[in-house]
Structure 1
Amino acid sequence: MGSSQSKAPPVSPPSPLLRQPWREVSEKYKDNLEFVKSYQPENKQVKHLRILLYGPVGAGKSSFINSVDSVLKGRAAGRAQADAISGKSFTRQYKTFKFRKSPGVTYSFVFNDIMGLEPGPDTGVCEGDLKLALRGHVREGYKFDPDQKLKEGDDGYNSDPTLEDKVHVLVCVVAAAAMSRLSDQMVKKIREVRLAASKLGIPQMAILTKVDEACPEVKKDTGNIYKVKYLKEKVEHFHHQKLGIPENCIFLLKNYSHETESNDKMNAAIVCALKQMLHYGDDYLNDLET
């Protein structure tokens, strides 16, 4: 005769998602985008706030520039060349990216992409060149040479940089899925650049890209970026054990890659990070006036 006791109901696995996002981006998207589009530096010595992107090869620096361009244009854009195959830096020259607002008018911030960092010696961008770029000593169009640091007297050396030439915000770009694989040598290179920026008082941020490749919940729905527990742990790990950048200065996003239409969920995360870059950069420029 069978037992009269009923079987216990199966236990559901814990949800990988938080009930509420730990950083709200969607509700503030329109306000954030309006701020970005209307931004003007308070410091009248500069027309454009300069943001320098750096990080390992393939992290998505050029793709982030294209993503910002896509958000501002409301359609997919691809001005900054990117390469997902070679494993080597596709960016070779120091180039300033401005964003067209209307005929003859650009938005009041610019990006500089730079050759990617590589773990080995004499590969990727020289940390010395990166440090010179912070101080505005790298001329537009300079071609990076991993074997030779730029020096005074070279064609690419700007001996008399203006405040406009200098970097106002430094942003480290790392792919979320590759974060745990950053070598000690790579972390050391990044920290050296961070230390140089700190000595100059330049504000610093980080963006973790390719979150859809790191997490299936985001691949299903980009709106889950700030609800996934795993990605929150990635941010905490990046803060505590990798580079020490404060958690409120670390942002998650997915760059435009295969998408051909504008996506508000992707845009919201991109604009949230961009708005904070402008805030930090403006605070830095304002401090220089006091």
Structure 2
Amino acid sequence: MLPHLRRRRARMMGETMLPRTALSLVAIATLAGSPAAFGQSGLEIPTPDFVVQRAWEHAGGLEAFGRLGIVLADFSTEENTQEGNPTTTRSKTYFLAPGPTPGRIEIEAIKAVSGDSGGRQAGWAVIGGKPDIRQSTQMMVKKLLTTNLFTLMLPFSLNWDGVLLKTVEPTVVKGVPVWRLSIEVARGFFHSPQIATTWRIDFDRKTYAVVQAESPATDLGKGLKADGMRISWAKLQDVRGIRLPGEQRTIGLSETGAEKAHSRLEQVRYSVLEAEGNAAMFRDPVPPGLRPTPQVGPSKGLPMPRPKT
């Protein structure tokens, strides 16, 4: 039987796709045993929960993923801007499976460490050896972890809080017949409104392997637009029986869905740490007296720093 999938409340490319190194989903309308629908072509279309269940099985199993312990994703990122300017960055993201929190992000180049112990507003950050005492940090780190890990951890991340599975339709991607799953995530799911809340995720019809994911361009108002993203994966790695991609490629998309010059290639190496004895890495190292205190009114803090692209 399909594990319970819970109902939850529901980058800029060019200059608009936010780099991963910025310091930086589920409701089902039918049960696992519900009958499939039929499209206009007479093709039997599976329900969203069926597709996700099969995808979990193909990738090693949702329960097995949740038992991994602490996963380290070590990123080496090459990014090319719309103007053709390349950058290379290194970062590490730790999370306790199934994620995204408790988690931790380390960016050596800017001497930044941030984490979230998994509680309510439990985020923290230390930059250049100094605690980031802005109240917004308490909520922002979880969103940064979600942004870093969501596409990389597909299909398992479809079981995270805030994801709504919507519809399935058949289509073809680069000659491969796929089931296209449409999803929606809650506002504030990612760390920036530049990332769309609607996504399309394609699964191979035969194997149910994840083929690619897309998010559309977004209108930010006042003439500002954030490009969409097309994401694909390669170099699958076996992490204690779980299939995780060793390579993730992101290409910017225009408002019409055309690919743009801005791209990002992430090479990822994984390690697994036992949860027992390593949980302290997620705890706030900032002394209680220096931690953010509740405030009234909007925060006057600056956006969290990130490397320039």
TM over 0.5: no
TM-score, normalised with respect to structure 1? 0.30
TM-score (normalised: structure 2): 0.29
Higher share in helix: 1
Could you say which structure has the higher strand fraction?
A: 2
Based on CA coordinates, which of the two structures has the bigger radius of gyration?
1
